[in-house]
Amino acid sequence: MRLPDSIEKLRQRLFGDTVRTFAWTSLLLLILLAVAPAKHYFADWRVYQRGYQQLISKRSDAVTLRRHFEPGIQQIWLPEIGVVDRCTTCHTGLKEASLADVSKQPYRHHPDMPHKAEEFGCTVCHRGQGAATSVEDAHRATDAWDEPLLPAKYLESSCGQCHQQDLKGTPQLNLGRKMLTQYGCIHCHTVKRPDGTVVAATDDPPSLEHIADKTSREWIYAWLKDPQAYSTTATMPNFKLKDEDARDISAFLMASSTPGPDAGSKVVPAVLEQAKKLKGDATLQTKAASLYGQSFCASCHAVQNAAGNLVGGDIGPELTKVGSKVKPEWLQAWVRNPHQYDPGTAMPRYRFTEQEVGLLTGFLMNKADADLLANVHLDAATPEQIEHGKRLVSDSGCAACHEVNGVKRPENFAPELTKVGSKPVAQLAFAPGVKHTLYDYLDAKIKQPHAFGAGLKMPQYTFTATQVDALVNALLSHNERALAMPAAKTVPALPESHYEAAGSAGKLIRDLNCFSCHMINGRGGEMAPELTSEGSSVQRDWLAQFLRNPNTLRPALIRRMPKFNLTDAEINTLTDYIMTVYQSPKVDRDSMPLTGYPAGQVELGKQLYYSKYGCQGCHIIDTKQDKGYVGPSLTHVGSRLTAAWVYNWMKDPQALRAGTQEPKRDMSDDDARALTAYLMSLKGHDAMEAKK
């Protein structure tokens, strides 16, 4: 091959003879040799360290800052947790509080944080490549890098690697974890914590074995097409089913449904009559509404008000359109005794009279939405449709959440997520347009699962941006690093409590589902006060009276303890059990008398109450003067609480009830005793007299 003339001339000029060749090659070599020191001199970290020295030289505390500054590569080395972090080589001002006004990176002062950098390094929380000393390598290198720096909104996920319990400082992570257990994710995906325990679901998807007792095929169809159209708070995702598929699934569910236990036998025609009468009878309607109110159904069930806002609790399903869903025969049996249809339900068995059952049934049947099923017209199902429906039910994984006759619960229906937070990017199949990082993948997978390919089974949820971020946080916390963390550095999850109360009281407690709202020995809900130490805190007579006719202690609460209409014998059983079994080891109920405190001490207590401690800011004693709305009313406190409990509460409220808002004071024994004397003198007799 002949080179073009011009280049041939150039070659002649440069390498024409030996001397020239030698000279030019030497020069080239020299330049090549100079690359190394130059690279060294211009290394990112040296540039930043020079910049830092310049920055601090102009500051008033330059001398101190210069003394703190250590030149050269810095490193935090923690072999125990696999950390080699050289981030402080460039992030030189990390610990200098006086640089709080510097916003230029990498010199910014690190905001306050719960751990020391020396203890955990940087990458345990921020990810990134700790050993790198160039900006690109340390932070992101390429989009397909396995350990890019975590965006700030996902930082809380790193706390979750060690902390398996909720933390005050990690609302996003807490929410994400709660959602994992609440929205059915873990019915399909197994998630194990580092200690090997399996994350358990807290939702309770209904069994579909007897669904034909409860509702119509038309409702099932409408629900399948769009669960949120029936209830905005429904946790079941929208599976975006085709009309035929929804038709066939509804056909199969109706066909496979078997009669529930005692179905039909408990239908009381008089009750149904009563319920029907409600439609045109305003007086009955008012009566039913007030019964619904008095029973505090709204403590657990929400209903949309005229303004479109949901009002009420979220323990039970929303009832705005329940009349379009359930059959009156089923509803009256449910209101009478929910345990019969669903032994595991959170709903208590109220002791309603038959007339009350009728009123409530009618009241709820009237909560219907005529539009919901107006456009649903289904012809009788063919055997092929039913067969197709069955295949869809088993393919879509319905049985991972619901019991369905004839379809087994699928094992490992979806991938396990125990290590999802460290899944290599190379192993992920990205949807078009999704950035190639793990967190963007997770975000997209939750937001638009169907973009990842037709036929994928992950359903479409309707979450807000905040909820998706929270979920991604929770998922990122389940990773290899969390699994490898030495046990001494971790805070394991509280073991799940399976506490059951014993004997006939235990049976009553299950029947009333006290655990749905009250925590006892680590098991139960958080809506109402914990009862683990109730026997040390209250007086027997008060408790019995309260169970007979609960009235709220907190004037501002809308969620209240319902009246269950218990018999005297039932009240006795419960009261005896609570007074003997639920005692605090910290309080000896009988160590202080309930009455008989000297008048002087009572008077002193009253002064302390109103002046020194300002208790009236939160509590009410004198209903004419005091207005405090935060704590419980104390008008009857001397008839309600034991003196020993009050005294111990004055000394250290958090020791008796963790997390209570009542601030702990540095109270002398004398003050505490005087306040106890005053509070115990408040028997509430005047108020009771006045009522009579």
Are the CB atoms for 404 and 398 separated by under 8 Å? Answer: yes
Chosen from ligand HEC, another protein, none, partner binding at 26 (C-beta under 5 to 8 Å by type): none
Of residues 102-141, which lie at the interface with ligand HEC (CB under 6 A)?
Answer: none
CA dist list (Å): 464 to 262, 443, 461 = 42, 12, 10
Least distance from another protein to the Cβ atom of residue 145, Å: 19
Least distance from ligand HEC to the Cβ atom of residue 656, Å: 19
220 or 615, CB closer to ligand HEC?
615
63 or 558, CB closer to another protein?
558
Are the CB atoms for 184 and 402 separated by under 8 Å? Answer: no
Q: What character string, x for contact with another protein (CB under 8 A) and - otherwise, covers 103-142?
A: x----x--xxxx----------------------------
Chosen from ligand HEC, another protein, none, partner binding at 198 (C-beta under 5 to 8 Å by type): none
82 or 653, CB closer to another protein?
653
Of residues 460-479, which lie at the interface with another protein (CB under 8 A)?
Answer: 465-466, 469
Chosen from ligand HEC, another protein, none, partner binding at 466 (C-beta under 5 to 8 Å by type): another protein
Binding status of residue 660 toward ligand HEC by CB under 6 A: no
DSSP 304: E
Give the ranges where 513-598 is alpha helix by DSSP (H).
534-537, 540-548, 568-581
DSSP 139: H
Spell out a b/e string for 628-648, using b for 16 or more CB atoms within 10 Å of the CB, else e. beebbbbbbbbbbbbbbbbbb
Q: What character string, x for contact with another protein (CB under 8 A) and - otherwise, covers 592-631?
A: -------------------xxxx-xxx--------xxxx-
Binding status of residue 631 toward ligand HEC by CB under 6 A: no
Binding status of residue 155 toward another protein by CB under 8 A: yes
Binding status of residue 618 toward ligand HEC by CB under 6 A: yes
Chosen from ligand HEC, another protein, none, partner binding at 664 (C-beta under 5 to 8 Å by type): another protein
**Which one, of 248, 258, 259, lies nearest residue 381 by Cα?**
248
6 or 18, CB closer to another protein?
6
Least distance from ligand HEC to the Cβ atom of residue 228, Å: 38
Binding status of residue 268 toward ligand HEC by CB under 6 A: no
168 or 692, CB closer to ligand HEC?
168
Least distance from ligand HEC to the Cβ atom of residue 618, Å: 5
How many angstroms separate the CA atoms of 87 and 73, rounded?
9
Q: At 113, list the tokens.
A: 């944080």
- CA angle centred on 407, ends 403 and 408, rounded to 5°: 80
Binding status of residue 600 toward ligand HEC by CB under 6 A: no
Binding status of residue 665 toward ligand HEC by CB under 6 A: no
Least distance from ligand HEC to the Cβ atom of residue 163, Å: 23
68 or 115, CB closer to another protein?
115
The enclosing H or E element of 202 equals none
Chosen from another protein, ligand HEC, none, partner binding at 311 (C-beta under 5 to 8 Å by type): another protein
Binding status of residue 488 toward another protein by CB under 8 A: no
Q: At 624, list the tokens.
A: 């004419």
How many angstroms separate the CA atoms of 352 and 336, rounded?
7
Q: Is 2 left (phi over 0), alpha (psi -120 to 50) or beta?
A: beta
Chosen from ligand HEC, another protein, none, partner binding at 666 (C-beta under 5 to 8 Å by type): another protein
38 or 62, CB closer to another protein?
62
Chosen from ligand HEC, another protein, none, partner binding at 153 (C-beta under 5 to 8 Å by type): another protein
125 or 199, CB closer to another protein?
125
Q: What character string, x for contact with another protein (CB under 8 A) and - otherwise, covers 275-314?
A: ------------------------------------x---
**Which one, of 23, 50, 48, lies nearest residue 138 by Cα?**
48
**Which one, of 629, 513, 509, 552, lies nearest residue 294 by Cα?**
552
Binding status of residue 556 toward another protein by CB under 8 A: yes
Of residues 378-407, which lie at the interface with ligand HEC (CB under 6 A)?
Answer: none
Out of 58, 168, 377, 624, the only residue in the binding site for another protein (CB under 8 A) is: 168
| Cis amide bond preceding 486, omega within 30 | no
Spell out a b/e string for 188-225, using b for 16 or more CB atoms within 10 Å of the CB, else e. bbbbebbeeeebebeeeebbbbbbbbbbbbbbbbbbbb
Out of 10, 580, 617, 664, the only residue in the binding site for ligand HEC (CB under 6 A) is: 617
114 or 617, CB closer to ligand HEC?
617
413 or 610, CB closer to ligand HEC?
610
Neighbours of 58 (CB within 10 A): 7
How many angstroms separate the CA atoms of 95 and 112, rounded?
10
126 or 673, CB closer to another protein?
126
The residue range among 69-77, 145-153, 195-203, 674-682 that interacts with another protein, by the rule CB under 8 A, is: 145-153
The residue range among 53-61, 73-81, 393-401, 656-664 that interacts with another protein, by the rule CB under 8 A, is: 656-664
Q: How many residues bind another protein (CB under 8 A)?
A: 41
Neighbours of 406 (CB within 10 A): 13
Least distance from ligand HEC to the Cβ atom of residue 110, Å: 24
Are the CB atoms for 545 and 557 separated by under 8 Å? Answer: no
DSSP labels for 629-688? -SS---TTHHHHB-HHHHHHHHH-HHHHSTT-SSPP----HHHHHHHHHHHHT---HHHH
Are the CB atoms for 336 and 249 separated by under 8 Å? Answer: no
Binding status of residue 205 toward another protein by CB under 8 A: no
**Three-class SS state of 429:** coil
**Which one, of 354, 473, 345, lies nearest residue 420 by Cα?**
473
Neighbours of 46 (CB within 10 A): 17
With CB atoms as reference, the residue minimizing the distance to ligand HEC is 617
Backbone phi, then psi, for 496, in 5-degree steps? -70, 130
**Which one, of 520, 427, 420, lies nearest residue 191 by Cα?**
420
345 or 660, CB closer to another protein?
660
129 or 172, CB closer to another protein?
172
Binding status of residue 16 toward ligand HEC by CB under 6 A: no
Chosen from ligand HEC, another protein, none, partner binding at 556 (C-beta under 5 to 8 Å by type): another protein
Q: At 211, list the tokens.
A: 């669904």
Strand partners, 312: 302
Binding status of residue 664 toward ligand HEC by CB under 6 A: no
Binding status of residue 6 toward another protein by CB under 8 A: yes
How many angstroms separate the CA atoms of 544 and 646, rounded?
20
Are the CB atoms for 574 and 584 separated by under 8 Å? Answer: no
Chosen from another protein, ligand HEC, none, partner binding at 155 (C-beta under 5 to 8 Å by type): another protein
Are the CB atoms for 367 and 323 separated by under 8 Å? Answer: yes
How many angstroms separate the CA atoms of 416 and 418, rounded?
6
181 or 616, CB closer to ligand HEC?
616
Which residues contact another protein (rule: CB under 8 A)?
6, 100-101, 103, 108, 111-114, 151-155, 168-169, 171-172, 311, 465-466, 469, 556, 558, 611-614, 616-618, 627-630, 654, 661, 663-666
Which residues contact ligand HEC (rule: CB under 6 A)?
617-618
